[in-house]
Chain A
Amino acid sequence: MALSGIQIYKMLPQTNCKECGFPTCLAFAMKLAAKQVELSACPYVTEESKKQLAESAAPPVRLITLKAGTEVKAGNEVVMFRHEKTFYNKPGLFLRLKASDADLAKKAAAADAYKVNYVGMDFTLDGFAIEADGDLSAAVKTVRGVSKRPLILISNDPAALDKALSQLAGETALIYAADPSKYETLADTAAKHKAVLTVRGDSLEALADLTPKIQAKGVEDMVLDLGGKTLGEWLTLSTQARRLALKSNFKPLGYPVIFFAGQNGPEKEPVYAAQAISKYAGFVVLDTFTPELAYALLVLRENIYTDPQKPIQVQPGIYEINAPKPESPVLVTTNFSITYFSVANEVEGSGLPAWLVVTDAEGMSVLTAWAAGKFDAERIAKAVKEFNLAEKVSKKRIVLPGHVAVLSGELEEELSGWEIRVGPREAVDLPAFMKQALN
């Protein structure tokens, strides 16, 4: 937990020598608490204070980065609820593969290539967890043949891990997992290869006992497997771990957590993964890869981790879809990303050309913006004029979203000389409307 200015002041020399550029040690301490200056500006801080201050400045949940050709981060979270600020590092989605699987290369290649677009953003899976039920090194080599994404190695055999990790020079992999009965050799292996080590225990107490011991062996980067056999148990454990880290600044549990969503079978897997995404997992391991499940989970993750202060928006302006000509229709919508892409994707998919006017509705959906007075006749007319639409089109005809049919009268007054048409309510029905009603 961050220290207050007064707490920091007590650790300073209290001589008011001014060398830091502030009139008093207290003034400097206040600035430090607000993170507006660096501690190094004071030449007289003792080593002991430096250490304490560094510890208090460390994030309550340690930032862990797994690296290969791509990167995935977990940790550094500061709140229990997204509305309190935001959640920062989206949990990495990993697919578990078995070393013994004859189709290993094929499965890894298919999941690696998976890419899906959601409101203009491309999403992929983050990496693979390879289970050492066969030759781990050979499996790592096979997967590396088709994917450059970060790896989790599931094995507690130090020799096998050592060999496999030697092939991953320059990467940061995650080892799964050390437990109280056997952690020393695994800690050594992790230290040697600069790998992150998962720690597993039967209880939070067991975990909290173990992490300092592993830290003492030179491994700073850890991930926790909290156990938990049902949704309810896991919710409890992950809530407790996050609270201890955030509210009690309890360092032994201040690490991201990993969750295996397939542990109770494929039927429950989607729901298990969904809870883990909303409730504090740093890494989620799936046993099943299907495009439809990956898509749903990636969207859920994006939604939960969207900054509540900033709706995802697109730039207002005129978007040309399928190379519109002067006689092509003009469609109006708002600049909320989800709204824009719902419309743009439909029109694009239909192959029909259109001018899409995206108004500045402060990132709100059609009805929300309408209700908030950010999408009205005046604003639409202003956009039409500002973007010089009249010069681009020969047919002065505008199509409104069906949900705001009420605007058509006013808009006619605002835009004299333009024909105002009311389109369908849902974008899915736009192509049919464009074919039938707009000739």
Chain B
Amino acid sequence: MPIDIPKDKWPGSIKKITLGATAAEGGTRAKSITLGGQTTLPYLHFEAPTPNSPAIAIEIKSRKPEDWSPLLAEVWGEAMNDPAKWAKKAEEAGADLIVLALMLADSPDDAVKAVKSVLSASGLPLIVWGPGQAEKDNELLVPVAEAAKGEKLVLGICEDKNYRTIVATAMANGHLIEARTPMDVNLAKQLNILITDMGLPADRILMDPTTGALGYGIEYGYSVMERLRLAALQGDSMTQLPMIVTPGFEAWKAKESKVGEGVPESWGDWKARAVHWETLTAVALVESGADVIVLRHPESVKRVKSAIEELVMA
């Protein structure tokens, strides 16, 4: 019997945004990445194709982080002492782009140097995060934005209390920004409105809805992303932006990934568990609409990449 499959036709669509600039586009990246453009819910090819595959970013730091799990220290090894080497290794591990997280100990000179060395070591588009304290973020991100003018970096992380300086420097130097709000559709909209009111075009915003790890609040992030995507498709222009999520950061904070000893036997093998934790957190978020997935372990990168390929394939 022929079946009439209910199909959704949406009035809205996600904006296309491009990260990174090649020589032709005024930068030095080997290639740029375009995200967004979706006209329906994730990977429902019977309604519309997926115009742009989500991208995987690997998170590296400007200095060796002391609080990362030994499992991560083991896979990245010596490269963790040098962001350029780390970036290169991340590229080899299959990253589509790099997230370079600056640290509190960095001076503006250190930050610029780290960013430049990563830009010359790897041709991938780059996202740069400040250390996460408003004043310090501004102090580091402004010189970085100027030094990398035209590269179409993504600068982050903008929050409601701290977005003006970063947005201004992104506007002046041709970059994009990452706008983070704590798991709330209206707050996300509101921040995007504030940012576009400053004059930054919407297609230079990557929206970060905040996520929790598996077992630590992932369900909130998952549902907020589904709701943001639905709002966007229904035509709400201030939610029609690609989304970035940080399952690597969240999952490696969880005890399940961080700690190998003194945990219940029913938690099983540490390394395998840690990779499952990161991978499953990431895949659930891919299903709910993530466009950039920031990971930490190469094995998770491999698995999430393969999942994305299977989802994007028509």
Contacts and interface: CB of A to CB of B under 8 A. Distances in A.
A296 B230 CA distance: 28
24 contacts: A81-B227, A115-B266, A116-B264, A116-B266, A118-B215, A204-B3, A205-B1, A209-B1, A232-B311, A232-B314, A235-B44, A236-B46, A243-B5, A247-B6, A248-B4, A248-B6, A267-B303, A274-B280, A278-B284, A292-B268, A293-B272, A295-B267, A303-B214, A306-B219
Given A303-B218, A303-B219, A428-B259, A291 B268 contact: yes
A250 B6 CA distance: 11
B283 A271 contact: yes
Interface in B199-245: 214-219, 222-223, 226-227, 230
A276 to B, nearest CB: 11
Interface of B: 1-6, 43-46, 182, 214-219, 222-223, 226-227, 230, 253, 255-256, 258-259, 262, 264-270, 272-273, 276-277, 279-280, 283-284, 287-288, 303-304, 306-307, 310-314
A208 B44 contact: no
A114 B266 contact: yes
Nearest to B216: A338
Contacts of A204: 3, 5
Those 6 A-B pairs whose CB atoms lie nearest each other, nearest first: A292-B268, A291-B268, A292-B273, A116-B266, A231-B310, A296-B276
Interface of A: 81-83, 114-118, 204-205, 208-209, 230-232, 235-236, 239-240, 243-244, 247-248, 250, 252, 267-268, 270-271, 274-275, 278-279, 290-297, 299-300, 303-304, 306, 308, 338, 342, 349, 365, 368, 371, 426-428
Given A116-B266, A292-B272, A300 B217 contact: no
Given A209-B1, A274-B284, A342-B255, A236 B44 contact: yes
A243 B262 CA distance: 46
A118 B267 CA distance: 10
Contacts of A247: 6
B283 A274 contact: yes
B314 to A, nearest CB: 8
Contacts of B310: 230-232
Contact of A235 (B262, B273, B311): B311
Interface centre among B214, B269, B310 (most CB of A within 10 A): B310
B276 A293 contact: yes
Contacts of B312: 232
B303 A295 contact: no
Contacts of B217: 338, 365
A338 B276 contact: no
Contacts of B303: 267-268, 270-271
B280 A81 contact: no
Nearest to B67: A426
Interface of A is mostly: helix
A95 B313 CA distance: 29
A250 B4 CA distance: 10
A384 B230 CA distance: 44
A82 B6 contact: no
A378 to B, nearest CB: 23
Contacts of A83: 223, 226-227
A428 B43 contact: no
Nearest to B259: A428
Q: Identify the interface centre among A115, A118, A293: most chain B CB within 10 Å of its CB.
A: A293
A271 B279 contact: yes
B282 to A, nearest CB: 9
A430 to B, nearest CB: 12
A292 B253 CA distance: 17
A230 B43 CA distance: 12
A102 to B, nearest CB: 24
Nearest to B288: A278
B255 A428 contact: yes
Contacts of A252: 1
A298 B46 CA distance: 31
A270 B276 contact: yes
B255 A208 contact: no
B216 to A, nearest CB: 6
B226 A208 contact: no
| Max count, chain A CB within 10 A of own CB: residue among B268, B280, B314 | B280
Contacts of A426: 253
A240 B5 contact: yes
Contact of B6 (A81, A115, A243, A338): A243
B46 A278 contact: no
B46 A240 contact: yes
A343 to B, nearest CB: 11
A37 B312 CA distance: 49
Nearest to B311: A232
Query: Which of B266, B269, B307 has the most chain A CB atoms closer than 10 A to its own CB?
Result: B266
Given A208-B3, A250-B3, A268-B307, 10 more contacts: A82-B219, A82-B226, A209-B1, A232-B311, A274-B284, A290-B269, A303-B215, A308-B223, A349-B262, A428-B259
B45 A290 contact: no
Contacts of B6: 243-244, 247-248
A244 B3 contact: yes
Nearest to A303: B219
Quick one: which of B5, B258, B272, B303 has the most chain A CB within 10 A? B5
A408 to B, nearest CB: 20
Contacts of B273: 292, 295-296
A296 B266 contact: no
B176 to A, nearest CB: 27
Nearest to A350: B262
Given A240-B46, A271-B279, A295 B268 contact: yes
Contact of A81 (B215, B226, B314): B226
Contacts of A368: 182
B279 A270 contact: yes
A231 B307 contact: yes
Contacts of A232: 43, 45, 310-314
B287 A291 contact: no
A271 B214 CA distance: 13
A236 B49 CA distance: 12
Given A204-B3, A247-B6, A295 B266 contact: yes
A299 B46 contact: no
B280 A300 contact: yes
A299 B214 contact: yes
A270 B300 CA distance: 11
A318 B1 CA distance: 63
B219 A292 contact: no
Contacts of B230: 81
A113 B276 CA distance: 22
A278 B287 contact: yes
A240 B46 CA distance: 9
A357 B204 CA distance: 46
